[in-house]
């Protein structure tokens, strides 16, 4: 598919009109202009549409594209964004984050020096609480070549993932009826399993502040409410990282404890890929441990 610009800056948003301007103004401050801003509004009922229409009418050196969809969660919004993106690179920036003034310039430079002979699906900048402040791990050489699995060890903290659009389109998120959340790591892990590499840079290109209405703050409750997506993530991670049986058993037990009030035994077994006959014994163990704790 042909590309019309170097970078698609993609923002999924839901009722974030009160803070979205911070990101917009940071885009206006960019020194690099070969990009588009693609916003997928995931069913907002605030004044997000009016804001975007106002900004579209302003004189900017970059186009702003706005798509409204029925509320379906961030991963569905990403799938939608990938279908409409026209950039060579696809960079998801959450609506409560904003960019450093040289972020897109650095991204364009990084893409130019990425080794063509190696199987890279993209690269990552750092996230920080300020342009020169990050709690994440730093690398002596200024960057580290690895893959998404390194997020479970060598690479700590949240990162700003930038993917080649045509590669990311091959890894759309599965969509489960009735569920609206799935960790983005599902597709990152699949890329890594297929041999795709990532280059992780020390440089902070995105400033974050977790909001009370954000997905990060919602945390574990999102996993509980979306057992199919959660089960998919855990079981694929276990397969890709070749968990030993002991780790599988711990994963099965934890998932059973979390899902037992929401899912039937057969669903638990299916979602986490465990033998059906093992679900009930896991529940008995959980009940026994709860009883012991109460008596102490």
Q: Output the six-digit token pair for 28.
A: 């206006």
The b/e string for 129-167 (b: 16+ C-beta within 10 A; e otherwise) is eebeebeeeeeeeebbbbbbbbbeeebeebbbbbbbbeb
50-63 residue pLDDT tens:
999 999 999 999 99
CB atoms within 10 A of CB 262: 12
> Quick one: pLDDT at residue 246?
97
> Quick one: pLDDT at residue 215?
41
Instruction: Supply the angle between the helices 265-272 and 276-295 in degrees, to the nearest 10.
Output: 110
Closest to 38 measured CA to CA, from 2, 78, 3: 78
Please, which pLDDT band fits residue 217 given cuts at 50, 70 and 90? very low
Q: What is the mean pLDDT of residues 215-236?
A: 81
Q: What is the mean pLDDT of residues 147-152?
A: 97
Closest to 106 measured CA to CA, from 130, 89, 86, 129: 89
**Alpha-carbon span 215 to 257, nearest angstrom:** 22
**Alpha-carbon span 10 to 139, nearest angstrom:** 27
> Quick one: pLDDT at residue 63?
97
> Quick one: pLDDT at residue 3?
79
0.75 exceeded by the pTM?
yes
Element (H, E) at 54: helix 48-56
**Alpha-carbon span 36 to 4, nearest angstrom:** 9
> Quick one: pLDDT at residue 221?
82
């Amino acid at each position: 598919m042909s590309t019309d610009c170097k970078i698609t800056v993609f923002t999924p948003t839901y009722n974030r009109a009160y803070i979205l301007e911070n990101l917009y103004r940071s885009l206006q401050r960019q020194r690099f202009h070969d990009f588009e801003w693609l916003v997928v509004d995931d069913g907002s009922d605030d004044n997000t549409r009016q804001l975007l229409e106002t900004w579209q009418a302003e004189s900017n050196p970059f186009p702003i594209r706005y798509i409204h969809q029925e509320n379906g969660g961030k991963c569905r919004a990403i799938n939608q964004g990938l279908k409409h993106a026209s950039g060579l690179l696809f960079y998801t920036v959450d609506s409560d984050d904003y960019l450093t003034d040289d972020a897109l310039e650095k991204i364009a430079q990084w893409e130019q020096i990425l080794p063509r002979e190696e199987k890279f699906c993209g690269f990552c900048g750092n996230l920080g609480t300020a342009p020169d402040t990050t709690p994440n791990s730093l690398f002596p050489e200024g960057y580290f070549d690895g893959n998404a699995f390194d997020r479970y060890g060598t690479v700590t903290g949240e990162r700003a993932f930038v993917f080649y659009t045509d590669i990311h389109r091959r890894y759309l998120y599965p969509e489960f009826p009735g569920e609206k959340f799935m960790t983005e790591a599902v597709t990152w892990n699949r890329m890594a399993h297929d041999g795709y590499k990532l280059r992780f840079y020390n440089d902070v290109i995105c400033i974050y502040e977790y909001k009370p209405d954000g997905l990060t703050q919602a945390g574990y409750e999102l996993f509980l409410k979306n057992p199919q997506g959660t089960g998919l993530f855990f079981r694929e991670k276990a397969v890709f990282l070749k968990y030993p049986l002991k780790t599988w058993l711990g994963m099965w037990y934890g998932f059973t404890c979390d899902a037992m009030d929401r899912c039937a035994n057969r669903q638990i077994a299916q979602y986490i890929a465990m033998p059906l006959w093992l679900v009930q014994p896991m529940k008995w163990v959980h009940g026994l441990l709860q009883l012991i704790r109460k008596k102490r």
